[in-house]
């Protein structure tokens, strides 16, 4: 049973634990994936690249003084944000709403700690807001989670420190829970905040793992089936995205078995496990940059990101022409899936393929929004959750691997959405390609 193949792989990732790109557990995960690929008969490769790494020099501390009494606040220091001085910053709290220019002008943020409303998991700190914030010289920034955030701790988030171009250093930044933020605002007198966080920043070596199944077609056209195997520091990354990896590995095994029986697909299939995803989609970006042949020949991308949680619903995030989107809808209908199909991009590895307007679809199993916390563990997953992602994958791949042609290119409005998203977060290849 396919779902058991997937779940048995998943247990191995659960044993390996947290897989921060560039660290030893990530190498073990890469070895496991490569071995499994070659065991079923795929041609395997590794693509090596360096990524930015961070760690806190010591655990960060965040305290607020209310009614003359200091109390600690549950928080997560944002990765790569600016350091506080060694003895921390101490400054009054001011609510900056959504951090818009109009609000910032009104509240005189200089030297204060700004509290900014944000769904920090879905809307990471981004370049646009930091370009604005830096001008106003706040002492520190606290982002909130959404009210519906399912974790008892805030998610790991990062500021894309590597790509941003601000004048001046990014302010120290942490994420606090919505409920705590609400409580702070209910005290309508002065609140003093004390925050302390310093980081080690370095470069680390990591690698993507590629398993290839040659197609019968000699034109070199290919499709990419992918997921990411690195995880955030604050959780084991089982649904996000070991679940995607094991779905992809199960599909790789299926098509390799068919090939062994003489049933070959027309287009070459590259099954790719990305690393360096969590720090800014680096794995897919570096791979496409270093492999222009594959980039130019890829006609379709199927990406799995967040799969396997027992209680979840399915959303397809599609970047493609109207015609291809329609064809994906028809695949769903023929399989009996009434899945939500959204057009656009998220912080998903297909974003790097968007700069060449390559058709792509991401399957994201939503509903559980505790990704990037300790709760994203194997207890919340179940073999049966893999049945439909695998059936969908086969249905879609049978089509895209063999279709006479797949319409390339995006509608202009989708291009615009993808381009501005890419610019906002500093993700994707738009800055280098298609300019």
What is the smallest separation between the CB atom of 316 and Zn ion, expressed in angstroms? 15
Nearer to Zn ion, 209 or 401 (CB): 209
Q: Choose the stretch contacting Zn ion; rule: CB under 5 A; options: 43-51, 121-129, 289-297, 304-312.
A: 304-312
What is the smallest separation between the CB atom of 155 and Zn ion, expressed in angstroms? 12
Instruction: Give backbone dihedrals phi and psi of 201, rounded to 5 degrees, phi first.
Output: -125, 135
Q: Is the peptide bond before 241 cis (omega within 30 degrees of 0)?
A: yes
Residues 140-169 that bind Zn ion (CB under 5 A): none
What is the smallest separation between the CB atom of 379 and Zn ion, expressed in angstroms? 19
- Determine the Cα–Cα distance for residues 21 and 38; give it in Å rounded to an integer: 22
Q: 126, 153, 221, 305: which one contacts Zn ion (CB under 5 A)?
A: 305
Nearer to Zn ion, 63 or 371 (CB): 371
Q: 153, 156, 180, 241: which one contacts Zn ion (CB under 5 A)?
A: 241
Residue 156 has, within 13 A of its CA and on its CB side, a CA count of: 24
Q: Residues touching Zn ion: how many (CB under 5 A)?
A: 3
What is the smallest separation between the CB atom of 427 and Zn ion, expressed in angstroms? 13
Nearer to Zn ion, 241 or 357 (CB): 241
Q: Which of 285, 294, 266, 247 is nearest to 392 (CA)?
A: 247
Nearer to Zn ion, 127 or 240 (CB): 240
What is the smallest separation between the CB atom of 222 and Zn ion, expressed in angstroms? 23
What is the smallest separation between the CB atom of 305 and Zn ion, expressed in angstroms? 4
Please classify residue 70 by burial: count the beta carbons closer than 10 Å to its beta carbon, then call 0-12 exposed, 13-18 middle and 19+ buried: exposed
Helix (H, G, I), strand (E, B) or coil at 227: strand
Per-residue b or e along 192-218, where b marks 16 or more CB atoms closer than 10 Å to that residue's CB: ebbbbbbbeeeebebbbbbbbbebeee
* Residues 307 and 247 sit within 8 Å (Cβ to Cβ): yes
Which tokens is 383 given? 């073999």
Nearer to Zn ion, 221 or 305 (CB): 305
| C-alpha to C-alpha distances, 414 to 184, 319, 346, 396, 397, nearest whole angstrom | 40, 7, 12, 22, 23
Q: Choose the stretch contacting Zn ion; rule: CB under 5 A; options: 102-110, 144-152, 235-243, 254-262.
A: 235-243
Which tokens is 299 given? 């006609």
240 binds Zn ion, rule: CB under 5 A: yes
* Residues 76 and 154 sit within 8 Å (Cβ to Cβ): yes
Q: Choose the stretch contacting Zn ion; rule: CB under 5 A; options: 103-111, 151-159, 253-261, 303-311.
A: 303-311
What is the smallest separation between the CB atom of 370 and Zn ion, expressed in angstroms? 13
Nearer to Zn ion, 180 or 241 (CB): 241
Instruction: Please name the residue ranges forming H helices in 219-281.
Output: 243-260
Q: Choose the stretch contacting Zn ion; rule: CB under 5 A; options: 25-33, 68-76, 297-305, 395-403.
A: 297-305
Residue 67: how many other CB atoms lie within 10 Å: 8
Q: Choose the stretch contacting Zn ion; rule: CB under 5 A; options: 2-10, 218-226, 234-242, 380-388.
A: 234-242
What is the smallest separation between the CB atom of 337 and Zn ion, expressed in angstroms? 21
- Determine the Cα–Cα distance for residues 224 and 362; give it in Å rounded to an integer: 12
Site string for Zn ion, 192-211 (x = CB under 5 A): --------------------
Interface ranges with Zn ion (CB under 5 A): 240-241, 305
């Amino acid at each position: 049973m396919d779902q058991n193949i997937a779940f048995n792989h998943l247990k191995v990732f659960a044993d390996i634990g947290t897989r921060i790109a560039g660290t030893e557990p990530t190498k073990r995960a890469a070895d496991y994936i490569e071995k499994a690929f070659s065991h079923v008969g795929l041609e395997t490769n590794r693509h090596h690249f360096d990524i930015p790494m961070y760690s806190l020099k010591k655990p960060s501390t965040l305290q607020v003084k209310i009614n003359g009494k200091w109390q600690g606040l549950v928080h997560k220091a944002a990765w790569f944000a600016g350091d506080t001085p060694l003895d921390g910053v101490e400054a009054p709290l001011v609510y900056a709403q959504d951090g818009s220019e109009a609000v910032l002008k009104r509240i005189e943020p200089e030297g204060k700690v700004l509290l900014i409303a944000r769904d920090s998991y879905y809307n990471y700190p981004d370049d646009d807001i930091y370009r604005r914030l830096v001008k106003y010289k706040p002492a520190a920034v606290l982002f909130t989670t959404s009210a519906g955030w399912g974790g008892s701790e805030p998610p790991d988030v990062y500021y894309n420190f590597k790509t941003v171009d601000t004048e001046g250093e990014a302010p120290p930044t942490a994420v606090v829970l919505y409920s705590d933020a609400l409580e702070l605002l209910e005290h309508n007198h002065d609140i003093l905040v004390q925050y302390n966080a310093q980081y080690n920043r370095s470069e680390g070596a990591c690698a993507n793992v590629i398993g290839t199944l040659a197609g019968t077609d000699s034109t070199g056209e290919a499709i990419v089936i992918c997921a990411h195997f690195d995880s955030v520091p604050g959780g084991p990354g089982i649904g996000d995205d070991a679940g995607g990896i094991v779905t992809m590995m199960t599909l790789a095994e299926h098509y390799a078995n068919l090939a062994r029986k003489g049933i070959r697909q027309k287009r070459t299939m590259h099954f790719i496990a990305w690393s360096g995803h969590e720090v800014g989609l680096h794995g897919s970006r570096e791979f496409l940059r270093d492999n222009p042949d594959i980039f130019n020949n890829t006609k379709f991308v199927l990406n799995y990101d967040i799969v396997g949680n027992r209680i979840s619903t399915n959303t397809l995030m599609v970047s493609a022409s109207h015609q291809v989107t329609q064809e994906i809808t028809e695949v769903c209908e023929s399989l009996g899936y009434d899945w939500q199909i959204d057009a656009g991009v998220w912080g998903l590895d297909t974003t790097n393929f968007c700069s060449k307007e390559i058709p792509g679809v991401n399957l994201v199993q939503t509903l559980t929004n505790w990704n990037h916390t300790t709760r994203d563990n194997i207890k919340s997953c179940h073999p049966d959750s893999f049945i439909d992602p695998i059936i969908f994958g086969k249905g879609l791949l049978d089509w895209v691997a063999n279709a006479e042609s797949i319409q390339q290119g995006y509608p202009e409005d989708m291009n615009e959405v993808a381009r501005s998203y890419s610019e906002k977060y500093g993700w994707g290849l738009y800055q280098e390609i298609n300019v």
